[in-house]
A and B are shown apart, each in its own frame.
Chain A
Amino acid sequence: MTGNILEAKGITKYFHDPVTFQVLKNISFAIKGGEFVSITGKSGCGKSTLLYILSTMDTDYEGELLIDRVSMKGRKEAELAKVRNVKIGFVFQFHYLLNEFTVLRNVMLPALKMAAKSPEEIEHQAHEKLKILGIESEALKSPNKLSGGQKQRVAIARALINDPIIIMGDEPTGNLDKKNSENVYQIFKELAQAYHQSLLIVTHDAEFAARTDRIIEMEDGAILNN
């Protein structure tokens, strides 16, 4: 993949409650296909807010956002949901797996929603993703029977299921111990190198950030250095 898969042009955002406050100040940058990028900065600097705008979940901003060279401005809620479904994979600080479903079904859900393939194909694919992450043996368990590190790996498998053009992570290692954080980093690294998966990870873990291809450092709602 070449070219800019994600481009932010002068993104500005205000919080209005309790007082009007500018969280993001004219942020512009671009991410190329296959890049492993991290956004760092102190807590409260607006990095998560930026991620939610980039992920299309937050639509209340000024400026322009292009995903896959298509502007996201003024799109309907259902269209944005489709963009998230097809083009973006998410990994959050908390795993957000549905305990009502098995691990396998959790991974399958976004693909079932996309409905581009038959359920059998999707199941096969989900097994493959779990295999990449080394947790294939847990496929039929309920998520609440898994350890924290395993859950996060399931969440990554779920992010991968639709072969998104970019994976976004909001403090994906924030809830994990040293060993599991390292694990997750290794997974991301492998995805970036072996599969040329683009990744955009928000983290305040300097050690984690330092090992990524590119660091975007933020302070007080602006990019400090890129």
Chain B
Amino acid sequence: MKFGLIFSVAKSLLLARWKQTLVAAIGVTFSIAMFISLLSFMTGLNDLLDGLIMNRTPHILLYKEIQPSKQQPVELDFRYKDYHNFVSSVKPKNERLDIRNNRAIIDVLEKDKRVLGIAPKITTQVFFNVGVINLNGVINGIDVISENELFLFDDYVVAGNYQDLNNIPNSIILGKGAAEKMLAQIGDVVQVTAVTGQQVQLKVVGFFQSGLLEFDNVQSYASISTTQKLLSESNNYVTGIQIKLNDVEQALPVAREYEQLFGINALDIQTANAQFETGSFVRTLISYAVGITLLVVAGFGIYNILNMMIYEKMDSIAILKATGFSGRDVKNIFITIALCIGIFGGLLGLVFGYTLSSIIDQIPFITAALPTVTTYPINYNPNFYIIGGVFSIITTYLAGYFPSKKASKVDPVVIIRGK
């Protein structure tokens, strides 16, 4: 009841100056709409750029690195244990690159609840023999099904069908850049020399384009079994295990844990791609700063209009106070006015922001580097709408607070005597 009265007084004051009120509300609408569309567009773009790398990067990569032995034999001998042993010209051990006992490791990982999925992988250097010259290349032997599930492999296969890697024996998907150099078409056969010296003929079943030129010039894909054959290895030869976690933020601690547990190297995504994280963070920060600046400007608009309204309505405030409205009631009336402007303008802003984002989403954006993208990217994250809504209410409340306080301090005696 009490609020109903305050609201009705606020409403009539609002409607008495509806043009100014509308201008104030439009200010809020505009700033919220810009805030939403700016953030949606900016984070959409961020996600796209990060996705170029991040989508293709496992959260944790288990691999074995060729490195010198940490303990030299002399140190193991009890006779020299208390000595300072100097060993010069230490060389890396002659070790196999594959992950030993990988079947058991995969079994353990599959039972781990933090793990979303696993994709084993073989990476190997090759030469593509094209006429008289040899082109450098890397073949990634992949588990086609899980690679597609975890790393959206299909999105980057621009020609041909990725499943042919499984269906057609001795097949390869060439990087777009490599294929252009070799003038290879789908259905052609390319000759490949492995590091072991073995030569194999592989049938081209598709082209791959990630959007990163350097990557596409070198990388090619084959199935795990094809790669094992190429290297003359048994069918349990795997050089890397790619892991996707349910929570990316856990990558670092989990990587440390696996390193201990399995006694191999583990690389987490944050360490591997620290610069991307920083880039997105700064871009997002700038978007927020611009959005909030717009809102603050709108807040000043509301502040001005309320101040003016209070000067105009001095008489009304005085009589309200004379007839028994307390300072607090008067303050609540003006804060209600400010909040009405904020809520109304904010809601409209959310709608316009969504509309504007949808329009941007329709604008064609075709670039050779990004085969999967046809329109400008937009991130419809509901959080932006929540933040925008909450912020519009907070700013208008603050903008209304000071004028309201002034109104509550109006001394009715001064006004009434002044007449």
Chain A residues near B (Cβ < 8 Å): 48, 52, 55, 57-58, 77-78, 81-82, 84-86, 90, 92-94, 96-101, 109-110, 112-115, 158, 162, 170
Contact = CB atoms under 8 A, between A and B. Distances in A.
A101 B316 CA distance: 11
A90 B322 contact: yes
Given A77-B326, A81-B321, A96-B319, A112 B5 contact: yes
Given A81-B321, A96-B315, A115-B5, A170 B416 contact: yes
9 contacts: A48-B417, A52-B413, A52-B416, A55-B322, A81-B325, A85-B324, A90-B323, A92-B416, A110-B324
Contact of B326 (A81, A90, A93): A81
A94 B419 contact: yes
B2 to A, nearest CB: 6
A126 to B, nearest CB: 13
Contacts, number: 75
B105 interface: no
Looking at B16, B411, B416, which has the most chain A CB atoms within 10 Å of its CB? Answer: B416
Looking at A94, A113, A158, A170, which has the most chain B CB atoms within 10 Å of its CB? Answer: A113
B138 to A, nearest CB: 77
Contact of A58 (B315, B318, B413): B413
Interface in B1-42: 1-2, 5, 9, 12-13, 15-16
A86 B316 contact: no
A98 B329 CA distance: 16
B412 interface: yes
A96 B325 CA distance: 15
Contacts of A82: 324, 326
A98 B316 contact: yes
A1 to B, nearest CB: 21
Given A85-B323, A112-B5, 10 more contacts: A52-B417, A55-B322, A57-B322, A82-B324, A94-B419, A96-B318, A96-B319, A113-B5, A114-B324, A170-B416
Interface in B300-334: 315-316, 318-329
B326 A100 contact: no
Contacts of A96: 315-316, 318-319, 322, 416
Nearest to A77: B327
A121 B150 CA distance: 70
A115 B96 CA distance: 88
Contacts of A110: 323-324
Contacts of A90: 322-323
Given A96-B318, A101-B12, A86 B5 contact: no
